[in-house]
Amino acid sequence: MNKSQKIKAELFKDIIMGIIILSISVGCFFTYNPADAPLEVGTGGMTFATYPLAVASLLTILGLIYLLSSFLKYIKNSSKFDLLFNINNAVKNNKSLYFKRLGSVVLLIIYARMIGEINFFISSMIFLFTAFYLFERRDYLKMSVLSVLGSGFLYALFIYFLKLPI
Amino acid sequence: MFEGLIGGFANCFDPINFTLLFLGTFLGLLVGALPGLSSPMAIIILLPVTYSLEALPALLVMIGVYVGTKLGGSFSAILLRTPGTPASACTAIDGFPMAENGQASLALGYATYSSFFGGLTSWIIAVTCIPIISAVALKSSNADIALIGIMGLVMVSAFTRGSMLKGFIGVCIGLLIGSMGMDKSDAIERFTFGSLDLLTGVPFAAALVGLFGFSVVLSDLSLMKTTSQLITEKFKIELPSFKDFCKRWRAWSIGSFFGAVVGAIPGVGADGATWLAYGTVKNNSKNPEKFGLGEPDGVIAPETANNGTTGGAMVPMLTLGIPGDASTAIMIGALYLHGLQPGVTLMKTGAEVVYGMLAGLLLAGIMMFVIAMGAIRFFVYILRQHRSLLFPFVMVFATLGAYASYNEIFPVYAAIFLGVFGFLMEERGFPVVTIVLGVILGPIIEYNTRIALQVADANWLTFIDTWPRIIILGTIIFLVFNEVKQGLIREKLSKTK
């Protein structure tokens, strides 16, 4: 992939981000008042809706500018852009990195679920060991020792010393 | 003022506070030395540890980390040419060639000396300015506070890296996140999506942990495989003679000046200050050709500027509630989490904490110097460790930071969501600090705007009622138009290229 094609791929990502931002801002107009409260509530010339609607309007304008400028730059770039090729290329080159990122998020969600359900020491130990494995460590003895000692340290620090209600 | 400061020092010399400040500084040096882990990340790691502490001890730990990371970043910049923090990138230009020429110890010595000196100078400036600005700020009305808040947002958007458009978009998203939950004036739900958890809004700790903790981990996973190749096997700090340091007065005075001034401008942070100082010293040097080849002035200028920002950033943070950089943004969050209201009234309601923080800033600078001299070998040992051993612990601390704020799982989910979102934003060049600032300042701006309008019988002209308000509004308009103009010029230039 040459430099111009790389720029075009980056501009495509900008367009996607522009669409996400615009979706958020437009979505705000439909979700700012979930209780369907009457709009005349409020004092001093402002209602509860004035501020979020003003910010959402500003974000819509800014999002549109961002999306349009990215789109125009994308159009002006004469390089060929093959979405499927780019996705395949990115996945092929960064497979391990994407897996680590996705794995980290999944692991964090599972850890969060575990904290409230099972003992903090055990949940931290499992999390640490799995995270080491996810980050491509394969020295199992060191991983085990660090997981146990690390969890023990965390348990002592937060439960015994700081008395946090975990 | 002096009474307050003496009281602040007395509080800092409390054995527990002193120990916490020391540990914070030590951790700061350690984290700063590790490429990829920065000061905001270190403060986030410490967030759960500070929950059971009083406000001042909690903030002293953070101050220690804040000061320590500034110097820690230069260790890896000099020894590896990989800056530990973005602000240390400039130090690598001359620090690494010095190390290559066999002067690694001296380069570390210049960095340590300069960091200490920069911190000391900016501390004097901060201590002098803060009481004066606070006295003026205390007279502010609601309309003034709202305008100051807006000016802070505009300044951060304008001066932070990347375009102002991206900065503004980040700010708007932060403002919207900050407006979630029950509206405090009318008790009406906003953006709750039918969730009871969201009635109290997005937990502040979750926003901090997500945007400065998880998003950075996700981003830095790409650094996982990099290994550290040290330029030397001899690790000690060789301080330059005082006479030699004094001879280089131009470098440290320019560095200190840019550090303190630029540090006080919200959004610029140490990165901007170091490059400005380096460029100015190089341009004014009799031998500019020596820069980049191991010129000590090229280490002194950015390092004094880097630590010089610590005092500068405290000025808007402690007087107006506007953070100078990402680390002070988290400290503002910590003030909230400990029941204090940052902003113009902080000097009135939390003077003890303010003076304690200022005293802690100076003591942390001294501790940084002492620890660096004594424990450089330990920091270098840690530098050699693989990041795959560190990141899982960072993730545990960040998770606990979110969980322990409410003792519920919801803040952790919110933090993970914001972490992924923050990571995607950062990848596209949107500075996440602007989002956090929007979350912090949004409610303050809305509340004060509504009160100001109530007092003025819904007359919006109240915002141009006095000269200070006109000046603030003028500054906001100038900043916006100037940035739009600069953007158009940049666009034109890129077209001609």
Render A134-146 in DSSP notation, one character per residue: HTT---HHHHHHH
Q: pLDDT category, B233, cuts 50, 70, 90?
A: low
Number of H helices, E strands in chain B: 21, 2
Query: Is residue A10 domain-resident?
Result: yes
Place of tokens 């602000």: B87
Cβ atoms of B83 and B391 closer than 8 Å:
no
Q: Give the three-class secondary structure for B408.
A: coil
Residue B341's pLDDT band (cuts 50, 70, 90): confident
Any CB–CB contact under 8 A between A29 and chain B? no
Buried/exposed code over A7-44 (b: 16+ C-beta within 10 A; e: otherwise)? ebbebbebbebbebbbebbeebeebbbbeebeeeebeb
Q: Which residues contact A110 (CB under 8 A, 6 or more apart)?
A: A127
Q: Taking the mean position of all CA atoms in its chain, how far away is CA B28?
A: 13
The closest CB to that of A44, out of B424, B427, B450, belongs to: B450
The answer on A56 and A12 residing in a single domain is: yes
CB contact under 8 A, A56 and B176: yes
If asked whether residues A7 and A70 sit together in one domain, one would say: yes
* Average pLDDT estimate for B221-232: 65
Q: Which whole number is the average pLDDT over B76-105?
A: 80
What is the pLDDT confidence band of residue B497, given thresholds at 50, 70 and 90? low
With 90 as the cut, is the pLDDT of residue B367 above it? yes
Do both A73 and A122 map to the same domain? Answer: no
Q: Distance from A81 to chain B by nearest Cα, in Å? A: 19
Confidence band of B231 (pLDDT split at 50, 70, 90)? low
Q: Could you tell me what percent of chain B has a pLDDT over 90? A: 22
Distance from CA of B428 to the nearest CA of A (A): 7
Phi-psi region of B461 (alpha: psi -120 to 50; beta: other; left: phi over 0): alpha
Give contacts of B403 with chain A, Cβ < 8 Å: 112, 115, 166
The answer to the question of residue A86 being in a domain is: no
Neighbours of B307 (CB within 10 A): 33
**Nearest beta carbon to residue A105 from set B169, B189, B420:** B420
Task: Tell me, yes or no, whether A87 lies in a domain.
Answer: no
B215, HSE (Cβ side, Cα atoms, 13 Å):
28
- In this structure, are A134 and A113 located in the same domain? yes
Q: What is the mean pLDDT of chain B?
A: 85
B47's CB contacts (< 8 A; 6+ apart) are B205, B208, B209, B330, B334, B397, B398, B401
Contact yes or no for B404 and A100 at CB 8 A? no
State whether A116 and A138 are in the same domain. Answer: yes
| Residue A3 banded pLDDT, cuts 50, 70, 90 | confident
**Over 60: is that where the pLDDT of B387 sits?**
yes
Q: How many CB atoms lie within 10 A of CB B385?
A: 11
The pair of three-digit structure tokens given for residue B323, joined into one six-digit string: 């953070």
Residue A28 lies in a domain: yes
What is the structure's pLDDT at B229?
A: 61
A17 and A76: one domain? yes
The helix-helix angle for B432-455 and B410-427 (nearest 10°) equals 110
Considering the domain boundaries, does residue A136 fall inside one? yes
Distance CA B431, CA B1 (A): 36
Q: Compute the nearest-CA separation of B79 from chain A (Å).
A: 26
Query: Which one, of B145, B242, B310, B218, lies nearest residue A97 by Cα?
Result: B218
Q: Does A131 touch chain B (CB under 8 A)?
A: yes
Tokens 């111009």 correspond to A4
Largest CA distance in chain B: 71
For residue A38, give Cα distances in angstroms to A53, B183, B189, B306: 15, 14, 12, 52
In a domain, A1, yes or no: yes
Verify whether the Cβ–Cβ distance A62 to B172 is below 8 Å: yes
Cβ contacts of residue A23 below 8 Å, gap of 6+?
A: none
Residues in A closer than 8 angstroms to B460, CB to CB, are 45
- B388, B416, B452 member nearest A136 (Cβ): B388
The answer to whether the Cβ–Cβ distance between A32 and B191 falls below 8 Å is yes
Q: Do A112 and B396 touch (CB under 8 A)?
A: no
**Is 80 exceeded by the pLDDT of residue B213?**
yes
Question: How high is the pLDDT of residue A26?
Answer: 95
Q: Which of B202-211, B217-226, B366-375 has the lowest mean pLDDT?
A: B217-226
The whole-angstrom distance between B365's CA and the closest CA on chain A is 27
Whether residue A72 is found in the same domain as residue A40: yes
Structure tokens belonging to residue A37? 């409260």
Mean pLDDT of B364-379: 88
On whether any CB of chain B is under 8 Å from the CB of A47, the answer is yes
Same domain as A18, residue A76: yes
| Phi, then psi, of B101 in degrees rounded to 5 | -85, 10
Tell me: do A3 and A73 sit in the same domain.
yes
Per CB-CB distance under 8 Å, the chain B contacts of A17 are 424-425, 428, 430
**Residue that the structure tokens 């300042």 belong to:** B441
- Based on the fold, state whether residues A10 and A76 are members of the same structural domain: yes
A88 falls within a domain? no
Of A81, A105, A135, the position where a domain reaches its end is: A81
If one counts the domains in chain A, the total is: 2
* Same structural domain, A3 and A77: yes
Contact B404 A166 (CB under 8 A): yes
Query: A124 vs B396: CB contact, 8 Å cut-off?
Result: yes
pLDDT > 60? residue B227: no
How many Cα atoms are found within 13 Å in the side-chain-facing hemisphere of B275?
8
Taking CA–CA distances from A51, the nearest residue in chain B reads B446
* pLDDT number for residue B17: 93
- Calpha distance B470→B452 (Å, rounded): 15
Task: Let me know: does B423 contact A104? Beta carbons within 8 Å.
Answer: no
Q: Show Cβ contacts of residue B207 under 8 Å, excluding neighbours closer than 6 positions.
A: B177, B333, B414, B415, B418, B435, B436, B439
SS (HEC) of B355-385: HHHHHHHHHHHHHHHHHHHHHHHHHHHHHCC
Residue A123 belongs to what domain range?
Answer: 94-166
Considering the domain architecture, whether residues A98 and A68 belong to the same structural domain is answered as: no
Q: Is A89 a member of any domain? A: no
Residue B456 in 3-state DSSP? Answer: coil
- Interface confidence (ipTM) of the complex: 0.92
The Cβ of residue B256 has, within 10 Å, a number of other Cβ atoms equal to 27
